[in-house]
Amino acid sequence: MTQKCAINLKNFIILLQNKQMFDILNSKIIIKLWKKIYFYDIKYNRLLKLNGGKMNVIDLFCGCGGLSYGYQEAGCNIILGIDNNETALKTFEKNHPGSKGLNIDLLREDFVDEIKKYIGDTQVDIIIGGPPCQGFSLTGSRNPDDIRNKLYKAMFITAKAFKPKAIMIENVPGIQRLYGGKFYNLIVDEFNKLGEYNFDSKILYAPDYGVPQIRKRIFIVGIRKDLGDVSFPKPKLKEEEYISTKDAIGDLPSLENEPDQEDFDYEIEPFSEYQKLMRKGSDMIHNHLVTKHTQEVKDIISLVPDGGNFKDLPKGVGDNRKFNEAWRRYDSTKPSRTIDTGHRNHFHYKYNRVPTVRENARLQSFPDKFIFLGSKTEQYRQVGNAVPPLLSKSVAEEILKIIDRK
């Protein structure tokens, strides 16, 4: 049955849900509306715009979506994100219009069936993911039997089921050498078992790609053999061109009067190109809630100079924290230290407080229009666990150049 009518999208969906316009078979229909193609899934109450020539991407271990946001900015269609953190999935969905976030146990044998229930026959072009690195990380327990170390297999089980054009795994560089390279070699073995992909890996340094943060990540990329060989993006910036912490967050409100709010208007004009980039598409500052320290803590922070740490404190002061990152104040003239999932050891280069979620997000290269949901602690964790979108975007653009040639 075909009907022509003028109707807005919201009412169109209501009619679909009430089954007033279409005989719906298998809970899925294809809709041509305003010259755009949509996919409507009744079970998940979701309207998705089909790719329109864009590459369809599934993001395993998506978290809040830093990795997939880079692919989205590169022009891909993110159809699905999978994670076991419900709050992170809500953030993912909010910032990836038309995408669905699913909580699926990727250790279950039938997890691919759950994916297929949602996407149906939709073609999957690229599978990306950053398997949890706590079992690998230099800051973790490094337990070789940590069950999370087995989650990487989900990448290859999914690839075997959907046969994408490309696979991309992101993780900490430590997997190359940890336990004699055991885990890295397991990943290599899985690529060899697939047999259909050329693959290679490279450690990329985030400041080289416009991210104002000292952060190294390893990217393991597989390209289907009929499409070409793997290559990685060349650095975009020289060391003297790296984005400094001040150029990244210096335009944000100081919060010195400790207001009880997290949304603000922009108070000053941007004074760096990076700030202009971060503001694009946003008319407000979100997630900028100040942490209120005791006066004792403020007094200790005030003794640490721009770029300094606990070694700059007088003897007997701050003795409860004495390790490399303790009482670390960001250097205003350099990229920030690596953003982690906590927020207790690093301090603003100028103000006597820890950075806000928004400041950390800026240092991770999340634009201001990317909004984080959940408690403040959950937001900090989402930011710290994420892949910098600008770094992800550079990798995505390189992959697209290869697979778009065919």
- Segment 392-399 shows an average pLDDT of 98
Q: Does position 123 have pLDDT exceeding 70, yes or no?
A: yes
Lowest mean pLDDT among 51-65, 121-135, 310-324: 310-324
Query: pLDDT value at position 133?
Result: 55
Q: Does position 143 have pLDDT exceeding 80, yes or no?
A: no
Of the residues 62, 64, 76, 133, which is catalytic?
Answer: 133
Instruction: Sketch the domain layout of the chain as residue ranges.
Output: 1-50, 53-238+388-403
pLDDT band at 183 (very low <50, low <70, confident <90, very high): confident
Q: Does position 96 have pLDDT exceeding 90, yes or no?
A: yes
Q: Which residue has the higher pLDDT, 157 or 32?
A: 157
Query: pLDDT value at position 240?
Result: 97
133 counts as catalytic: yes
Q: What is the mean pLDDT of the chain?
A: 86
Q: What is the token pair recorded at 148?
A: 């999370």
Percent of the chain at pLDDT exceeding 90: 69
Question: Which pLDDT tens digit goes with each residue over 292-310?
Answer: 999 999 999 999 999 998 8
Provide the CATH number for the domain formed by 53-238+388-403 in this structure: 3.40.50.150
Q: Which residue has the higher pLDDT, 24 or 159?
A: 159
Q: Which residue has the higher pLDDT, 21 or 91?
A: 91
pLDDT band at 405 (very low <50, low <70, confident <90, very high): low
Q: Does position 131 have pLDDT exceeding 60, yes or no?
A: yes
Q: Does position 227 have pLDDT exceeding 80, yes or no?
A: yes
pLDDT band at 3 (very low <50, low <70, confident <90, very high): very low
Query: pLDDT value at position 322?
Result: 57
Question: Which pLDDT tens digit goes with each residue over 233-284?
Answer: 999 999 999 999 999 999 999 999 999 999 999 999 999 999 999 999 999 9
Q: Does position 377 have pLDDT exceeding 80, yes or no?
A: yes
Lowest mean pLDDT among 25-34, 93-102, 244-253: 25-34
Query: pLDDT value at position 342?
Result: 72
